């Protein structure tokens, strides 16, 4: 009996600790980013029963610390979002740190052991103080220019060390409370992101890697959130390309979460060729979120909806005004959800909840993630 105990103790002692709670058998997650940067969140518009996770956007980085940029409204929003657990007790609320605007100080914050520890401690302190469920990191981008952010070659290794430090602090909190806390990240849905990170190592500390498989078109019109590459554009970015490159880099399929765009991107173009696709943008055109597109733009004279069969992506074009817009709709969401199920991925996430207040796309997500898997799903 004593010999058996000693062997079992040795196995437990020398077996690496597995941080992630998710597994290949877990049902797909539905992660919604909810913006608090505009002020108080209208929780009456949030259907918590349709979500598994809410990532609160955003917490800032200042003086090597996680910092509530709008403390009064942020803390109120934490309380309001936690109240949604009355509708859905299994809902998880995470703080998302960074974003496009507030990523400029990440590189400094994780540069040394001392700064990383300060950043990790203050990140988890927010989770502890406001009874939240974890931390999401949205660093745009390590080792690359973003919105005027500081970046350096050391970001590649420090990115991994940052997650290690945060995970250590979350584990300490877990030992205090007996609860498991999530650590996730939003990442660039393009191969260059992998050149500046160690995703195979970083994922060991993470529960989910949320692929920002959107914002693919800049300067000229094109699909900004396509599932596959378009015909004659095989090298363009896509959700499928992101998934395959991340898996090749060592991220398990069940941790990968495909991003959906509840908003549009586009512009006024020079030419009407190819229904406005792959044309130079000469001036802005804001088509807005999906609810507005469906209820308003699609009803206006001159606007026509098109579908790229190969890319599995819709787009809108007004030939007279030369206005183009790319976005997700119910049809593209269907294919993305079926793709997630077919390849046993972690689930889907989307930016951002308020862009589709009538929940057209979220209802589609729930419908298609719950439907029986069919062999011909992607045909």
Just list the catalytic residues.
Answer: 140
d(CA 377, CA 296): 31
What residue spans of the chain are helical by DSSP H? Answer: 2-14, 71-83, 106-109, 113-129, 155-177, 191-195, 199-202, 239-248, 290-295, 330-342, 360-370
How many residues make up the chain in this entry?
379
Q: What is the DSSP letter of 189?
A: S
Distance CA 122, CA 23 (A): 29
Name residues whose C-beta falls within 8 Å of residue 187's C-beta, 6 or more positions apart in sequence: 193, 197, 199, 209, 210, 211, 212, 246
Chain center to CA of 101: 16
Distance between CA atoms of residues 46 and 217, nearest Å? 29
Given a contact cutoff of 8 angstroms between Cβ atoms, the answer to whether 47 and 195 are in contact is no
Alpha-carbon distances of 10 from 16, 18, 65, 272, rounded to whole Å: 12, 16, 38, 69
Residue 346, H or E segment: none
Block residue for tokens 């998710």: 22
What is d(CA 359, CA 361) in angstroms, rounded to the nearest whole number?
5
Give the three-class secondary structure for 209: strand
Task: Provide the greatest CA pair distance for the chain.
Answer: 84
């Amino acid at each position: 009996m004593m010999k058996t105990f000693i062997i079992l103790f040795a196995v437990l002692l020398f077996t690496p600790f597995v941080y992630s709670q998710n597994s290949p058998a877990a049902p797909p997650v539905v992660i919604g980013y909810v913006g608090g940067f505009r002020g108080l969140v209208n929780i009456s518009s949030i259907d918590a029963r349709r979500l598994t996770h809410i990532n609160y956007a955003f917490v800032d980085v200042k003086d090597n610390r996680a910092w509530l940029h709008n403390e009064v409204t942020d803390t109120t929003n934490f309380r309001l979002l936690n109240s949604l657990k009355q509708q859905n007790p299994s809902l998880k609320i995470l703080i998302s740190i960074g974003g496009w605007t507030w990523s400029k100080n990440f590189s400094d914050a994780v540069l040394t052991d001392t700064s990383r520890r300060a950043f990790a401690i203050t990140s988890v302190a927010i989770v502890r103080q406001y009874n939240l469920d974890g931390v999401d990191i949205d660093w745009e981008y390590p080792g690359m220019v973003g919105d005027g952010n500081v970046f350096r070659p050391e970001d590649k290794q420090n990115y991994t060390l940052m997650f290690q430090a945060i995970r250590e602090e979350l584990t300490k909190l877990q030992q205090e409370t007996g609860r498991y806390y999530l650590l996730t990240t939003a990442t660039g849905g393009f191969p260059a992101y992998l050149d500046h990170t160690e995703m195979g190592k970083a994922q060991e500390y993470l529960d989910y890697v949320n692929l920002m498989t959107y914002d693919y078109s800049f300067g000229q019109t094109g699909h900004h959130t396509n599932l596959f590459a378009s015909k004659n554009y095989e090298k363009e970015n896509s959700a499928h390309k992101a998934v395959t490159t991340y898996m090749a880099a060592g991220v398990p399929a069940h941790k990968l979460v495909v991003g959906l765009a509840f908003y549009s991107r586009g512009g006024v173009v020079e030419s009407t060729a190819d229904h406005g696709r792959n044309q130079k943008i000469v001036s802005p055109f804001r088509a807005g979120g999906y609810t507005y597109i469906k209820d308003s733009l699609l009803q206006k004279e001159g606007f026509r909806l098109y579908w790229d069969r190969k890319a599995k992506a819709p787009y809108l074009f007004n030939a007279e005004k030369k206005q183009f817009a790319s976005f997700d709709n119910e049809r593209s969401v269907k294919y993305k959800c079926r793709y997630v199920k077919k390849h046993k991925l972690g689930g889907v996430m989307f930016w951002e909840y308020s862009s589709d207040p009538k929940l057209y796309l979220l209802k589609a997500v729930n419908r298609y993630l719950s439907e029986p898997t069919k062999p011909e799903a992607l045909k």
